[in-house]
Each structure stands twice: as C-alpha cells, then as structure tokens.
C-alpha cells in the first residue's frame, strides 16, 4: 500500500487514534461541529501521507499538507487555519508532543470576502416561506441572534418572558450570555411553554424523551 508497511497502515487506520481525539475534544468541551471538523482534518492529514501514523511524522509533513491545501486545493485562509489548528491539537493535546516552528508553509493570501447579508425585506421573504417549528427557529436565529446549535439546544426554561430575554447556556466557548426576546415571538413561545405543562402531567414512561425544546 504505497510502500507503507502493514503495521504502520494498520495503526493509522485504526479507530483508536481518532477515538482519543474525540474523547479529548469532549473532555475539553469543544463543540460538536469543531469535533467533526478536527477529526475530518486529522483523517485527511493521515490519508494525504499514505496512512502513516502521525507519531512518525512531524513539522515537514505538516508543512507539506498545509501547502497542498493552499496550492492544490485552493482553500480559503480560514479553512487552512482550521486544518492547522486540528493538527496542532492532535500533536500537542493527543500525542503530547511539542512541535518546533513550522516554516516553508505556503499561506493563503487571498483577501477575505465580505459576507452577503439579507436586507430586512429579504429576510422577511425567506421567513414567510417557513411554517411551524422551522419558522419559529428561523425567527429566533434572525431576531435574537442565536447560533444554530444554540437554537437547537434551547429550552423553554431559558426563556424569560418577564424581562424579554433568552439565556444562552453552554454557548460558544462555554460562555453564558443573554439575548433579546422579540415581542412577536412571545406568543408562539408561550404556546410552546404550555405544551411543556402537558408533558409534566404525563407518566414518566410517556414523558420519556419529551424534553421541551424548539424542535
């Protein structure tokens, strides 16, 4: 297999290394999206070097992979930075190995593009096409500034109708913060809150798995 010894290929393809990466990411409370991205980049790094185990590689191989992303794959600067962060996490946190300065890396130099932002009219037109829970969730994203995973994890108990605010728990970086509750979302959220009271009256068996979230 590309001149790689069977033992080396077996170690590199073993799920144990990636399982260790996942476990440590969760211990350090990284988000699930970051976990998925880091594991994917580490897998790509190993495959790029023909399934050599990362413990057998170092600064030279890291530089080659990052340069490949810039020159051959034409990735954005943020993508190259994320790949670099994933590989640094692998070596420093999982393999507990200190790396020397990594030079000779072809960095992405293309300027960042300005994001495309909806006008208020365009946002209302998109929301008008949504129904039910999907519309409520989209209105929370737009009106309260919630991130997608924050919205998916939101519980009714974190909605404060008295102060018109939403408490975001375990947000990015494990920080808690407050978001505004738009007036037009008070009624649909109250209806959802009342459905929680129905769940509370169910038997434990019937209520199992019925935690009141917005999905």
Question: Which pLDDT does position 199 carry in this prediction?
Answer: 45
Q: Which of 8-17, 18-27, 92-101, 157-166 has the lowest mean pLDDT?
A: 8-17
Q: What share of the chain is helix, strand, coil (3-state, %, to 5)?
A: 60, 5, 35
Instruction: List the one residue out of 96, 94, 1 whose CA is nearest residue 39.
Output: 94
State how far the alpha carbon of 90 is from the alpha carbons of 11, 28, 77, 101, 174, in Å.
15, 13, 20, 16, 21
Pick the residue with more confidence: 206 or 114?
Answer: 114
User: Rounded to the nearest 10 degrees, what angle do helices 32-48 and 59-71 cross at?
Assistant: 100
* pLDDT (mean) for 161-179: 84
Question: Which pLDDT does position 48 carry in this prediction?
Answer: 96
Could you give the percent of the chain with pLDDT greater than 90? Answer: 53
Asked whether the whole model's pTM tops 0.75, one would answer: no
Backbone angles phi and psi of 202, in degrees to 5: -75, 165
Q: Which domains are assigned to the chain?
A: 6-94 (1.10.150.130), 131-207 (1.10.443.10)
CA distance 69 to 205: 51
pLDDT tens-digit series, residues 77-102: 899 999 999 999 999 999 999 888 77
Q: Does residue 192 register a pLDDT over 90?
A: no
Under DSSP, the state recorded for 94 is I
CA distance 47 to 145: 38
Q: Which of 10-14, 45-49, 71-75 has the lowest mean pLDDT?
A: 10-14
Question: Which pLDDT does position 11 carry in this prediction?
Answer: 44
Q: Does residue 56 register a pLDDT over 80?
A: yes
Pick the residue with more confidence: 207 or 186?
Answer: 186
Question: Which pLDDT does position 183 carry in this prediction?
Answer: 93
pLDDT band at 1 (very low <50, low <70, confident <90, very high): very low
Contact in structure between 207 and 191 (CB atoms under 8 Å): no
Q: Long-range contact list for 63-71, CB < 8 A, 24+ apart?
A: 63/102, 63/103, 63/104, 63/105, 66/102, 66/105, 66/106, 67/104, 67/105, 67/106, 70/105, 70/106, 70/107, 70/108, 71/106
CA distance 160 to 72: 51
CA distance 215 to 138: 11
Length of the chain as a residue count: 215
Question: Which pLDDT does position 172 carry in this prediction?
Answer: 67
Q: Does residue 44 register a pLDDT over 70?
A: yes
pLDDT band at 112 (very low <50, low <70, confident <90, very high): low
Pick the residue with more confidence: 207 or 46?
Answer: 46
Angle at 41 between CA 38 and CA 43, to 5 degrees: 110
Question: Which pLDDT does position 4 carry in this prediction?
Answer: 42
Q: Does residue 10 register a pLDDT over 70?
A: no
Question: Which pLDDT does position 108 carry in this prediction?
Answer: 78
């Amino acid at each position: 297999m590309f001149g790689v010894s069977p033992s080396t290929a077996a170690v590199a393809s073993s799920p144990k290394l990636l399982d260790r990466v996942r476990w440590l990411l969760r211990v350090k409370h990284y988000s699930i999206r970051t976990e998925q991205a880091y594991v994917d980049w580490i897998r790509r790094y190993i495959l790029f070097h023909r399934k050599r185990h990362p413990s057998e590689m170092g600064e030279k191989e890291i530089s080659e992979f990052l340069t490949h992303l810039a020159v051959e794959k034409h990735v954005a600067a943020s993508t190259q930075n994320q790949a670099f962060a994933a590989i640094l996490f692998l070596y420093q946190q999982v393999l507990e190995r200190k790396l020397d300065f990594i030079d000779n890396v072809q960095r992405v130099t293309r300027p960042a593009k300005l994001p495309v932002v909806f006008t208020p009219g365009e946002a209302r037109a998109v929301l008008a096409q949504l129904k039910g829970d999907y519309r409520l969730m989209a209105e929370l994203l737009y009106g309260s500034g919630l991130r997608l995973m924050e919205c998916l994890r939101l519980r009714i108990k974190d909605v404060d109708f008295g102060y018109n605010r939403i408490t975001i728990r375990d947000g990015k970086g494990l920080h808690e913060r407050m978001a505004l509750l738009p007036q037009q979302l008070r009624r649909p959220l109250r209806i959802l809150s009342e459905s929680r009271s129905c769940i509370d009256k169910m038997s434990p068996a019937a209520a199992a798995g019925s935690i009141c979230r917005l999905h």
